[in-house]
């Protein structure tokens, strides 16, 4: 499709304010003005509407396609939450209003939303308090490791090593590094964090170990059954345990991370709590802490006075600073709160139960179609599989696209060969799951009988396989590059 | 249960395929000792009840105040088409476009966004966005640190104080020095900034218009930085950028912005949109997603995520940043917003707001004891010195239905009597008259 710039007609406008204001040149010295107007699109409103409607049709989405992308929890996003977040009383509220003396009274509804959302998340996870400042999961990870650093610093010690399992998301080591830690790789055994590897790492690095970042269930979809021993080993050296909430959709109502020894957790509300993924953001990554890390949460915190008035508390002397400018992705958090209120405690528990049921059902039905490691174990809300001998995960993924199904996550985790990691979520019906199995069965057969034809997939989408090497080499990143 | 399609029969059949008798048996790996100690959450409610609850809370927010609050975050008109198009669920229920063939909509939109951002800032290229203006500034600073292998960042105190606090938080675990150069009555102290740059300096961070609304030309400062092989980093206000001298013209290495003003509602602090653009030679230091144009195996033009070797899912602890998701939907909104307004619409918005700010200043400075903080050129936002503490004035005015601006004493010592006032196209002369009368009655 032509770009919006290619559709631009000089002099055409879609939207202009009705103003008799003088031109900038009459209000500012010439030396402070740009020479040429920005070459933005010049289009009518209908031009713009047609263009973006056209673009939207080139996408797969949860609303149009089964989207079993592992570790991403592509569940259905209830429509009413969009309505709630767009209410003008929220959408038009300036974040600095409650910083004014009388301003707090002008934002009571919003402050109450944050307060209530925090209470929900605390009870959901067993943590003591949450901050909503982090603007996405990875930003939450960063906040979490900063909190861990602040804890050790408050004890008068500098610890430099962060233990990270080999199956962890790439954001874990990247977040730890950004906070100044050195990542120490912990090898898995039987698809789980090996407590003996933890013991060995502690023996090697001693009290330089700040903590461990864990995803539980892990990215292989397996519950970490050695967790109690891991907690015990870390406690011996007063190291902290971080819970990566990417897989929280597997445990709601079944395990609370605060109860089992985690000190800090981030939640991906766009995964677990039903807020839309937006094509890659915006997310929200609230971070919860237990007693030990409570003093270090970023300012401000929302407090409720005895008379029911909500206010912001900035007097937190040990706070780590600001992770975000205000109170996080408020417009996303409010959708998560609406989702939680709609489902209630029981509905959230059911969400996890059916997510795990769907994953186990799919895994069972795919036996004999794909190679399933850890087949003897129940999986959590997702599971890994390998493309069978003679086929490639990438080709199977592209074959699915041709059948109207979004591919699972491929080639992650890195420790599984030709990996396809699928997460069906609780939203999907049995016939959708059965359709996925049949599609994969056909695709695998095609791949074995006629590998060339599968390697040519997809053929039914707006484009065929893309030349990624050329993209990286030619580096055409805007309409004006590579001209 | 809401949003779960299984019938009781299907449940039983599926349990038997899996080989368990109950849903809870699926959680056998979580032993009794690890089950929740409490799970005391309320019962679920119907959709209408939940909506009513939020409708009620929304009315408890005073969004009907006549407001001149800006301070980096501005209430602008957003054409309805922005919400209607970005509200198409083909966009908002998709995820990161890893599978390019079924994500050309999102990918092309990001490519167009990168183009629009690059052209607005007159930089070579841009990424697919980061979380907000504060993290954009931090990421830009880190680009300079990595590229120059130096550890000193010169920071103008005229940069938004919230972003400076964020920067301090973000770099606190790294071995970096933030060299703060004090502001000069609400303007950049150019001589002091120049002096602060030396051969240890990775980059210099400024903002235009600055936090106080003052506009300056940083060309010489960036030339000085370049002469020490340090980077020039500038944060801008996208709406004003439609008329102001560009980061590219000034010779900046990286330009960033809080782009809330391009199509994002204020929404009590987020989600917002950080934009980042740089020179082509710096692109490998750029964090986050980047989309590139290429061809498919039949030679047809298309778009893919590219240069991924910079990113956390490939490089892990050696990545340029830990960022994973960006603000794709916010970026889409800003692209649609820019496409609807075009160069003329955006410039007319900027000019309208500058004219309103001039009108407000003329009327306010006619009041006894009110004067401009400085005589620097300004856009739609300006700092005024008052004869009484600004916080006291704002409090009293708020009770009368009007927020005349942001009191600066919170972030700047010696500025308890300074008010930061912003005008946008949501204000008009009548509102300004009301505000001036209110303020006049309180001085």
Q: Is A138 on the interface with B (CB under 8 A)?
A: yes
Q: Angle at CA B180, nearest 5°, toward B175 and B184?
A: 175
Q: In chain A, which residues have their Cβ closer than 8 Å to the Cβ of B407?
A: 100
CA end-to-end distance (rounded Å), chain A: 18
**HSE of A215 in the Cβ direction (CA atoms, 13 Å)?**
29
**Whole-angstrom Cα distance, residue B322 to residue A141?**
9
Domain ranges of chain A: 82-342, 353-469
Q: Which residues contact A11 (CB under 8 A, 6 or more apart)?
A: A42
CATH topology of domain B80-336: 3.40.640
Q: Which of B212, B379, B119, B207 is nearest to A24 (CA)?
A: B379
Three-class DSSP category at B371: strand
178-207 in chain B: CB under 8 A from chain A: none
Scan for tokens 């609230």, then name that residue: A286
Predicted pLDDT at B317: 84
Is residue B316 over pLDDT 90?
no
411-470 in chain A: CB under 8 A from chain B: 412, 426-430, 456, 458, 461-468, 470
**Whole-angstrom Cα distance, residue B183 to residue B72?**
17
Predicted pLDDT at B318: 84
- Taking domain A82-342, whether its CATH number is 3.40.640.10 is answered by yes
- Structural contact between residues A331 and B267, judged by C-beta atoms closer than 8 angstroms: yes
Q: Which residues contact A69 (CB under 8 A, 6 or more apart)?
A: A406, A407, A408, A409, A423, B95, B98
**Whole-angstrom Cα distance, residue A342 to residue B52?**
12
DSSP calls for A229-247: HHHHHHHHTT-EEEEEETT
Report residues of chain A scoring pLDDT below 50: none
Q: Do A347 and B44 touch (CB under 8 A)?
A: yes
Q: Do B340 and A14 touch (CB under 8 A)?
A: yes
> pLDDT tens, B99-149?
999 999 999 999 999 999 999 999 999 999 999 999 999 999 999 999 999
Q: Angle at CA B400, nearest 5°, toward B399 and B402?
A: 95
- Structural contact between residues B325 and A271, judged by C-beta atoms closer than 8 angstroms: no
Q: What is the mean pLDDT of residues B336-351?
A: 98
For an interface test with B, which of A3, A423, A431, A466 has the most B Cβ atoms less than 10 Å from its Cβ?
Answer: A466
Separation of CA A106 from chain center:
32
Q: In chain A, which residues have their Cβ closer than 8 Å to the Cβ of B326?
A: 280-281
Q: Is B341 on the interface with A (CB under 8 A)?
A: yes
Mean pLDDT of all residues belonging to chain B:
97
Predicted pLDDT at A483: 66
Q: Is A248 on the interface with B (CB under 8 A)?
A: no
Q: Is B15 on the interface with A (CB under 8 A)?
A: yes
> pLDDT tens, B390-408?
999 999 999 999 999 999 9
**Whole-angstrom Cα distance, residue A309 to residue A313?**
13
Q: Which of B214, B409, B299, B100 is nearest to A406 (CA)?
A: B100
- Taking each helix axis from N to C end, the angle separating A330-366 and B47-59, rounded to the nearest 10 degrees, works out to 160
Q: Do A228 and B34 touch (CB under 8 A)?
A: yes
Q: Do B377 and A13 touch (CB under 8 A)?
A: no
Alpha helices (H) along A126-183: 137-154, 171-178
CATH topology of domain A353-469: 3.90.1150
Is residue B307 over pLDDT 80?
yes
Predicted pLDDT at B34: 96
> Which helix (H) or strand (E) element contains residue B203?
strand B201-208
Q: Which residues contact A90 (CB under 8 A, 6 or more apart)?
A: A84, A109, A110, A113, A330, A331, A334, B54, B58, B61, B267, B268
Q: Is the pTM of this model over 0.95?
A: yes
Where residue B320 falls among pLDDT bands split at 50, 70, 90? confident
**Whole-angstrom Cα distance, residue B221 to residue B231?**
10
Q: Do B325 and A136 touch (CB under 8 A)?
A: yes
Q: Which residues contact B217 (CB under 8 A, 6 or more apart)?
A: A31, A32, B245, B250
Q: Do B324 and A407 touch (CB under 8 A)?
A: no
Tokens of A350: 């059911």
The whole-angstrom distance between A278's CA and the closest CA on chain B is 4
Q: In chain A, which residues have their Cβ closer than 8 Å to the Cβ of B87?
A: 82
Tokens of A383: 């599971």
Q: Chain A residue closest to B390 (CA)?
A: A100
Q: Chain B residue closest to A457 (CA)?
A: B101
> pLDDT tens, B253-280?
999 999 999 999 999 999 999 999 999 9
Alpha helices (H) along B274-402: 312-315, 328-364, 390-399
The highest-level CATH class for domain B343-442 is: alpha beta
Tokens of A101: 């003396």
Q: In chain B, which residues have their Cβ closer than 8 Å to the Cβ of A356?
A: 23, 26-27
Alpha helices (H) along B6-103: 8-18, 47-59, 80-86, 89-92
Q: In chain A, which residues have their Cβ closer than 8 Å to the Cβ of B169?
A: 146, 298, 320-323
| A&B contacts, CB < 8 Å | 711
Where residue B213 falls among pLDDT bands split at 50, 70, 90? very high
Domain ranges of chain B: 8-58, 80-336, 343-442
Q: Which of A246, A267, A252 is nearest to A333 (CA)?
A: A267
- Structural contact between residues A81 and A113, judged by C-beta atoms closer than 8 angstroms: no
Q: Chain B residue closest to A216 (CA)?
A: B30
Q: In chain B, which residues have their Cβ closer than 8 Å to the Cβ of A43?
A: 339-340, 342
């Amino acid at each position: 499709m032509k770009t919006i710039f290619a559709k631009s007609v000089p002099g055409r406008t879609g939207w202009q304010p009705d103003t008799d204001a003088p031109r900038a040149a009459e209000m500012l010295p010439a030396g402070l003005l740009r020479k040429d107007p920005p070459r933005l699109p010049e289009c009518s409103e209908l031009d713009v509407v047609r263009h973006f409607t056209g673009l939207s049709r080139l996408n797969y989405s949860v609303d149009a396609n089964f989207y079993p992308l592992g570790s991403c929890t592509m569940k259905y996003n209830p429509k009413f939450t969009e309505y709630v977040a767009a209410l003008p009383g929220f959408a038009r509220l300036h974040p600095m209003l409650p910083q004014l003396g009388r301003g707090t009274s002008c934002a009571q509804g919003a402050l109450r939303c944050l307060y209530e959302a925090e209470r929900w998340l605390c009870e959901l996870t067993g943590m003591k308090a949450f901050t909503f400042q982090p603007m996405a999961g990875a930003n939450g990870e960063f906040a979490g490791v900063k909190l861990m650093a602040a804890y050790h610093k408050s004890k008068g010690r500098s610890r430099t090593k962060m233990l990270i399992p080999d199956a962890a998301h790439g954001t874990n080591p990247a977040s730890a590094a950004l906070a100044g830690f050195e990542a120490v790789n912990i090898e898995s055994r039987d698809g789980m964090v090996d407590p003996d590897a933890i013991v060995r790492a502690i023996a090697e690095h001693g009290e330089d170990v700040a903590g461990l970042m864990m995803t539980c269930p892990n990215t292989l979809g397996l519950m970490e059954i050695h967790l109690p021993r891991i907690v015990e080993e870390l406690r011996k050296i007063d190291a902290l345990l971080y819970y990566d909430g990417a897989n929280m959709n597997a445990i709601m109502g079944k395990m609370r991370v605060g109860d089992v020894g985690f000190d800090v957790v981030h939640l991906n509300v766009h995964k677990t709590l039903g807020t839309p993924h937006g094509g890659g953001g915006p997310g929200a990554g609230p971070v919860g802490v237990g007693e030990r890390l409570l003093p270090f949460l970023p300012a401000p915190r929302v407090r409720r006075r005895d008379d029911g008035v909500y206010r912001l508390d900035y007097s937190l002397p040990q706070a780590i600073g600001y992770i975000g400018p205000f109170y996080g992705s408020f417009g996303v958090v409010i959708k998560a709160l609406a989702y939680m209120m709609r489902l209630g405690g029981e509905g959230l528990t059911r969400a996890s139960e059916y997510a795990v049921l769907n994953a186990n059902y799919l895994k069972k039905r795919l036996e004999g179609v794909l190679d399933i490691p850890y087949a003897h174990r129940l999986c959590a809300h997702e599971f890994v599989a390998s493309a069978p001998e003679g086929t490639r995960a990438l080709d199977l993924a592209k074959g699915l696209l041709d059948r109207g199904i979004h591919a699972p996550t491929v080639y992650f985790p890195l420790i599984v060969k030709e990996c396809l990691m699928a997460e069906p979520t609780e939203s999907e019906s049995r016939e959708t799951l059965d359709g996925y199995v049949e599609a994969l069965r056909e695709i695998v057969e095609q791949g074995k009988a006629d590998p060339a034809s599968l390697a040519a997939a997809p053929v039914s989408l707006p484009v065929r396989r893309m030349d990624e090497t050329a993209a990286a080499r030619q580096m055409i990143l805007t309409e004006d590059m590579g001209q | 249960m809401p949003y779960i399609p299984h019938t009781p029969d299907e449940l039983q059949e599926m349990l038997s395929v899996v080989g368990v008798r109950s849903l809870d048996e699926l959680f056998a790996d979580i032993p009794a000792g690890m089950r929740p100690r409490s799970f005391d959450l309320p019962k679920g409610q119907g959709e209408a009840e939940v909506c009513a609850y939020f409708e009620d809370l929304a009315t408890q927010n005073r969004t009907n105040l006549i407001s001149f609050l800006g301070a980096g975050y501005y209430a602008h008109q957003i054409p309805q088409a922005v919400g209607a198009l970005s509200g198409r669920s083909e966009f908002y229920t998709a995820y990161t476009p890893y599978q390019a063939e079924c994500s050309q909509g999102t990918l092309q939109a990001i490519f167009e966004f990168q183009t629009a951002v690059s052209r607005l800032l007159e930089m070579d290229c841009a990424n697919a966005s980061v979380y907000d203006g504060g993290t954009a500034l931090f990421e830009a600073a880190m680009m300079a640190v990595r590229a120059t292998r130096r550890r000193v960042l010169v920071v103008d105190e005229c940069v938004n104080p919230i972003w400076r606090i964020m920067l301090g938080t973000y770099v606190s675990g790294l071995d970096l020095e933030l060299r703060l150069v004090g502001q000069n009555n609400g303007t950049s102290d150019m001589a002091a900034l120049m002096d602060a740059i030396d051969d240890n300096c990775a980059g210099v961070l400024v903002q235009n218009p600055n936090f106080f609304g003052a506009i300056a030309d940083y060309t010489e400062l960036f030339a000085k930085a370049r002469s020490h092989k340090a980077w020039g980093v500038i944060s801008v206000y996208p709406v004003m950028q439609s008329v102001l001298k560009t980061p590219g013209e000034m010779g900046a290495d990286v330009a960033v912005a809080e782009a809330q003003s391009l199509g994002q509602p204020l929404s009590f602090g987020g989600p917002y949109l950080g934009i980042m653009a740089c020179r082509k030679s710096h692109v490998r230091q750029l964090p986050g997603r980047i989309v590139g144009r290429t061809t498919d195996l039949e030679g047809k033009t298309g778009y893919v995520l590219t240069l991924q070797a910079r990113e956390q899912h490939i490089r892990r602890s050696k990545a340029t940043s830990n960022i994973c998701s960006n603000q794709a939907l916010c970026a889409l909104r800003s692209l649609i917003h820019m496409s609807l307004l075009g160069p003329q619409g955006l410039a007319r918005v900027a000019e309208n707001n500058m004219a309103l700010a001039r009108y407000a200043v003329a009327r306010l400075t006619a009041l006894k004891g009110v004067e401009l903080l400085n005589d620097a050129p300004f856009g739609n936002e300006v700092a005024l010195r008052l004869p009484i503490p600004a916080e006291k004035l704002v409090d009293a005015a708020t009770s009368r239905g009007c927020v005349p601006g942001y009191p600066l004493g919170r972030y700047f010592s010696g500025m308890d009597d300074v008010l930061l006032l912003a005008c946008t196209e949501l204000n008009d002369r009548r509102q300004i008259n009301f505000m001036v009368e209110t303020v006049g009655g309180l001085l």
